[in-house]
Structure 1
Amino acid sequence: MFIGVHRGIIKRDSQERRPIGQRLAAIITQFNLILQIFDVIPIQNATETHWSTELAQAIKSPAELMPLLGLSSTSLPQAEQAMASFRMLVPRPFVARMEYGNPNDPLLKQVLADDIEMLPVSGYSKDPLDEGEHNPQKAIVHKYERRVLVITTGSCAVNCRYCFRRHFPYGDNQLAQKEWDSIIEYIQQHPKVNEVILSGGDPLMLKDSQLSKHILRLNELPQLKRLRIHSRLPIVIPSRINEELLSWVKVSRLDIVLVLHSNHANEIDAAIAEKVTQLKAHGVTVLNQGVLLRNVNDSVTAQVELSEKLFDAGILPYYMFTFDPIEGGAHFDIPIAEAQSLMGQVAKYLPGYLMPRLAKEIPGEPAKTVLAPTFTPDA
């Protein structure tokens, strides 16, 4: 915008003096905000596939997945019953990080169904965290005094076989757009709540037009200080972090914390690091919480490499949870004592700020239970 002429030189404001790329990006961001009101997909990087397209192209069967990895069906476990109980869903960007020809790839292990999931195992249940006891109304889980978790959707971009909510009654907690009034009212009725956690499913499965409306409603509650978002979607489909998302992030008055879910160093690549850089440039704190899983990340090397890779990508290790005893996932479980010993070994190789807290969620406790690593002499 022209603001005056002095000695024959046209003066422009500070925005006009910015590089053309920055000015164009600012114009696109403003235009995207307008488009979101009308639920239109905004302009994006022409070289990047829209995340919804990548989601639609996700793999839904072992027969489709195995040829991409150079594996034959004979190398697969029997999985018909497990697939019927909990379907396969794996985005192609995540598959691209799996090791070709390796049936024991740690990323593959997390998503490949196995009929051993159907075997009954004592001590494993459909609701290992007793979330049903803390579900006071539709879509609300309220276990801790100052935090409320909102089940925004039952959908995920990837179906992880160890998921502690694989049996959650999402049908009873499906939240229609107009029902957000009840969420706002619940928070207002609990004035000690100062943080809202968007969970699911995966909250980033919602359209940004929906998310931006929800965030605007939450912004209006003076009692709230923070908004936390738990999501695995940017790990499996990095393009989910786009201009649409960043446009509502930047206008929120709340401190936004994005807690990603990555379990293995091979899940982190340059595309994710680039997206994390964009998020942090908009003031988002980016953390990671993982789950300790048998034959996936239950080694010193796997844990050290994960923390190092996360930090290289701008993500701070936060929690490493012991396995929640969900029905169908017993083969992933690791005894507590073994987990503590493992993390004691890991601590020898990492600085304190790269050590995730080993933790267990115990139903009825007022907070997560942090488990101290145990140290044993080197052999």
Structure 2
Amino acid sequence: MITASPTSRLSSPSPGWRELWRDAITDAGELLRAVGLDARTDLLPPDDAGFPLRVPRGFAARMHQGDASDPLLLQVLPRRAEHDMAEGFTVDAVGDMASRTGHGVLHKYDGRALLIASGSCAVNCRYCFRRHFPYGEEIAAAAQWREALTHVKADTSIRELILSGGDPLSLATHKLAELTRGLAEMPHVIRLRIHTRLPVVLPERVDDEFTTWLSSLPLQKVVVLHANHANEFDASVDAACARLRDAGATLLNQSVLLRGINDDADILTDLCERSFAAGVLPYYLHQLDKVAGAAHFEVDDETALRLVDALRARLPGYLVPKLVRELQGDPSKRPIADFAR
């Protein structure tokens, strides 16, 4: 793995999350050199396949030196296969635009509304189902969340508000506080759910200002993390998870089943165990959303079901994630077993 440089006792204070964000690797050649693969530029497509590369240096430091098959590297490195056309793979894989009910508001499921809080992520995962999403036109945080909050206030069936993106924790904490001030007049909203990858890829984001805001919220709080491999966890991620729990959040993890990365029973077992060791309960194991550019990650349903059967044989039931797929128009995530066997 990449060895971190020793820190001098006389050095300046550690950089904050914004500085670390700005210092992310954004060039594929630089990323390859950082992991000792400078001779492998043949792996790369032209122009990052139309989807910019972004990797925090702390996340890159968890990759194994000289390993072109490192499971963290393969999640973020652009590949020529992203230009391959594949039947059934589209730019709007789960029907986001059809479920739009307001500026930056997606309302797919009863009792829950999702806000596209930001179009930015600290890391750009190559299988991202929103890699083609028109974020410039659909950000709920624009104009102090007014249109989004108007929709949520008018629909008293909404009990849970979900922040997604992009990554909602890419927003400054004061911007998140604007939203929750607006929720104060909506007694029907009892729960805030945040879907975020930042505590995993940039754990410094879970700072004092953020945890003070989160702990102050008079709502049930759920933070859904996204990790696909046990190697994504380290001591810094464990510490961020502990801070989130101390702020009153229930922590869940959702993963995507990815060919060549975690389509192995031993790897998935390790992920579930490592996630729980960090205080994060396995939640969903998603079959890949069929977004254009990601077909090379797909794992067939029969293989997926065999893998989950293996997890059930190895793990207590509470550590076995639900194997699901999201389909446009469905009233909920659909268990794979409902139509694969």
Question: TM-score, normalized by length of structure 2?
Answer: 0.93
Higher Cα Rg: structure 1 or 2?
Answer: 1
User: What amino acid is the match of 2:23?
Assistant: Q
Contact persistence 2:105–2:140 (CA under 8 A): no
User: What amino acid is the match of 1:153?
Assistant: S
For residue 84 of structure 1, report the CA deviation from its aligned partner. 4.9
Alignment match, 2:46: 80
1:65 aligns with 2:65: no
Secondary structure of 2:132's partner? coil
Alignment match, 1:49: 15
User: What amino acid is the match of 1:231?
Assistant: T
Contact persistence 2:24–2:54 (CA under 8 A): yes
1:98 aligns with 2:32: no
User: What amino acid is the match of 2:259?
Assistant: R
For residue 301 of structure 1, report the CA deviation from its aligned partner. 0.8
Give the alignment of 1:106-145 within 5 angstroms.
106-145=71-110
For residue 370 of structure 1, report the CA deviation from its aligned partner. 1.8
Give the alignment of 1:214-363 within 5 angstroms.
214-363=179-328
Q: Deviations over 1:88-145 (max 9, x none)?
A: 1000010010011101000000001012111111110001111111012210100012
Give the alignment of 1:171-182 within 5 angstroms.
171-175=136-140, 177-182=142-147
Secondary structure of 1:73's partner? coil
Q: Deviations over 1:135-180 (max 9, x none)?
A: 1221010001200000011111101000000001112113454251
For residue 67 of structure 1, report the CA deviation from its aligned partner. 1.9
Question: TM-score, normalized by length of structure 1?
Answer: 0.84
Q: Deviations over 1:50-96 (max 9, x none)?
A: 11111111001122112211112336413114x15001100001001
Secondary structure of 1:348's partner? helix
Residues 176 and 274 from structure 1, CA distance in 2 versus in 1: closer, same or farther, beyond 3 angstroms? closer
For residue 221 of structure 1, report the CA deviation from its aligned partner. 1.1
Secondary structure of 1:295's partner? coil
Contact persistence 2:49–2:78 (CA under 8 A): no
User: What amino acid is the match of 1:262?
Assistant: A
Residues 176 and 273 from structure 1, CA distance in 2 versus in 1: closer, same or farther, beyond 3 angstroms? closer
For residue 251 of structure 1, report the CA deviation from its aligned partner. 1.1
Alignment match, 2:120: 155
Q: Which runs of 4+ in 1 moved over 4 A?
A: none
Give the alignment of 1:159-198 within 5 angstroms.
159-175=124-140, 177-198=142-163
Secondary structure of 2:313's partner? coil
For residue 348 of structure 1, report the CA deviation from its aligned partner. 1.1
User: What amino acid is the match of 1:57?
Assistant: D
Give the alignment of 1:206-217 within 5 angstroms.
206-217=171-182
Q: Distance in 1 between matches of 2:196 and 2:258?
A: 19
Contact persistence 1:75–1:103 (CA under 8 A): no
For residue 295 of structure 1, report the CA deviation from its aligned partner. 0.3
Q: Distance in 2 between matches of 1:51 and 1:356?
A: 30
Contact persistence 2:144–2:178 (CA under 8 A): no
Contact persistence 1:48–1:239 (CA under 8 A): no
User: What amino acid is the match of 1:204?
Assistant: L
Residues 345 and 84 from structure 1, CA distance in 2 versus in 1: closer, same or farther, beyond 3 angstroms? closer
Contact persistence 1:164–1:324 (CA under 8 A): yes
Q: Distance in 2 between matches of 1:48 and 1:359?
A: 40
Secondary structure of 1:196's partner? strand
Secondary structure of 2:251's partner? strand
**1:201 aligned to 166, 169, 185, which one?**
166
Alignment match, 1:9: none
Q: Deviations over 1:306-356 (max 9, x none)?
A: 000001111110001000110000000011111011111121111101101
Contact persistence 2:322–2:335 (CA under 8 A): yes
